[in-house]
Amino acid sequence: MMYLSLLGWLRWSGDKAKVSIAQNTETAARLRCICCGATPDFAAPDFRCTACGDLLEFFFPGWTSDLNGRGARSSTNPAALRSLWLKRRTSGEALDQSGVWRFRELLPHIPNPKNKEHVITLREGNTPLYRLPRCARAVGVENLHAKHQGMNPTASFKDTGMTVAASSAHQQEFRWVACASTGNTSASMAAYAARGNMHSLVLIPDGKISWGKLSQSLDYGALTCQLRTDFDGCVRILNELVRQKPVYLLNSVNPYRIEGQKTAAIELMEQLEWEPPDHIIVPGGNLGNSSAIGKALLEMLELKLISRLPKLSIIQAHGANPFYRSVREFGGKKLEPMTADTLATAIRIGNPASWKKALRVLQTTGGEVEQVSEVEIAAAKAEIGADGIGCEPASAVTLAGLKKLRRSGFVKSGEAVVLILTGHLLKDPDFTIKFHRGDLFAGTGDAAEAALTKHLQRAPVVLDADLRAVIAALDGAERNS
């Protein structure tokens, strides 16, 4: 480790502004700027295009030549890929057991020049697809599923991208990795860094993330800095930091993150036997996840793994809605950063980095963008919970958004809909307890609207240790059910 870290430090001082990108003939991933189209061989430490400052993405030039040859090679042959991926589900190999690396033909390769330990995996992915029967009835759609990305090792979708990006950092012998976060990225990064013997630096907004998430990064050994600013302020400081110190950036501007997060969509299509739903609905914060899922859909269409595109819709909280406003007010021509505020702290983001990537996905798939209120988020979370599926507030914007998209007629009753639930209920138990006790909106301007959600609240009942009291409570509940 000592040798590796020293090497990483020296490499940085000698060659300051380069993060190397694994080149490999198997998957032949290359970087491209989403704006000016430049195709650099190396990425800058902030993963921005050195020519125009916009974001980079991976593309796979080898696919085009394969496809021109009618996809005869197994690397892009859809039937061969599907059966290879299925076969890996019975394998005992760590890479095959990962729900991310199982799909490695569609990911950049992480070469192992010296040993076989560069890929850091916690067996992420492999998340369940659940039916939501009660929610479906309430919303008025026949076919409603939730893909629960909160069932990942650190309980959020971030693990699918982190396994790829942290492996890349490890392969390049970085000693430190870092991120700015609203809590889930930091939890995930800290875990993968620990598994890969790297140090991790977390920048989070002081007081604005949930205890569940904070406790994770502490336990996984990160240097956790709570900055007196918001998420966007943490990002600004991190961008400066990576230019000055040999620290590998693990926010979702890192294109390896996006590649890993693509696999949620690939796995979803496999679970649906490659029959795409009509709609996929995702929460929008920094907009990396919608970009990743959209990228996967487009690539699967190109490789003929699916025959049509689902519409990908993005939902934001009303108090953190810069992307909604960009699309609705400015036709996507610009995004005005804002000071964000929402109890769904995971998506409390006012200046989303990946908004142009997300816009492209929205336009290509024909999706919609919606915003939902704080009370709508809380009610939707309790409704998902009542179907026996726990998620965190940011995930529940999907159901709240679906209700609006049903009312506007964008989603029809006979259409198949999949909600992407991004984080687990236990990430933010405070929110849940306050909601059920009726305290969440007490004394706020939302109190009157919140009164309409009383029927969803299940406050704990405190009783004497007396059998008759328990029976009376049971009988009362039965009468009201």
Instruction: Give contact residues for ligand F0G (rule: CB under 6 A).
Output: 156, 158, 181-185, 252, 283-290, 346-347, 392, 394-395, 422-423
* In the complex, least distance from residue 424 CB atom to ligand F0G, rounded to whole angstroms: 9
CB distance 265 to 300 below 8 Å: yes
Nearest to ligand F0G of 12, 248 (CB atom): 248
CB distance 282 to 420 below 8 Å: yes
Give 274's contacts (C-beta < 8 A, 6+ positions apart). Answer: 82, 305, 306
Residues 160 and 150: their CA atoms lie apart, in Å, by: 11
Q: Terminus-to-terminus CA distance in the chain, angstroms?
A: 60
* In the complex, least distance from residue 356 CB atom to ligand F0G, rounded to whole angstroms: 13
Residues 170 and 289: their CA atoms lie apart, in Å, by: 23
Nearest to ligand F0G of 77, 229 (CB atom): 229
Classified as helix, coil or strand, 424 is strand
* In the complex, least distance from residue 242 CB atom to ligand F0G, rounded to whole angstroms: 16
Nearest to ligand F0G of 298, 305 (CB atom): 298
Residues 467 and 473: their CA atoms lie apart, in Å, by: 10
Phi-psi region of 143 (alpha: psi -120 to 50; beta: other; left: phi over 0): beta
* In the complex, least distance from residue 76 CB atom to ligand F0G, rounded to whole angstroms: 28
For the purposes of burial, counting CB atoms within 10 Å of the CB of 30, is it exposed (0-12), middle (13-18) or buried (19 or more)?
middle
Nearest to ligand F0G of 165, 303 (CB atom): 165
* In the complex, least distance from residue 417 CB atom to ligand F0G, rounded to whole angstroms: 18
Nearest to ligand F0G of 27, 188 (CB atom): 188
Nearest to ligand F0G of 8, 294 (CB atom): 294
Residue 290 identity (one-letter amino acid): S
* In the complex, least distance from residue 358 CB atom to ligand F0G, rounded to whole angstroms: 8
Q: Which helix (H) or strand (E) holds 148?
A: strand 143-148
Q: For 201, phi and psi rounded to 5 degrees? A: -115, 120
Geometric angle at alpha carbon 395, from 290 and 259, rounded to 5° = 30
Q: How many residues are recorded in the chain?
A: 481
* In the complex, least distance from residue 101 CB atom to ligand F0G, rounded to whole angstroms: 21
CB distance 22 to 29 below 8 Å: yes
Residues 32 and 27: their CA atoms lie apart, in Å, by: 15
Nearest to ligand F0G of 156, 254 (CB atom): 156
* In the complex, least distance from residue 317 CB atom to ligand F0G, rounded to whole angstroms: 10
Nearest to ligand F0G of 118, 424 (CB atom): 424
* In the complex, least distance from residue 10 CB atom to ligand F0G, rounded to whole angstroms: 31
Phi-psi region of 326 (alpha: psi -120 to 50; beta: other; left: phi over 0): alpha
Nearest to ligand F0G of 305, 317 (CB atom): 317
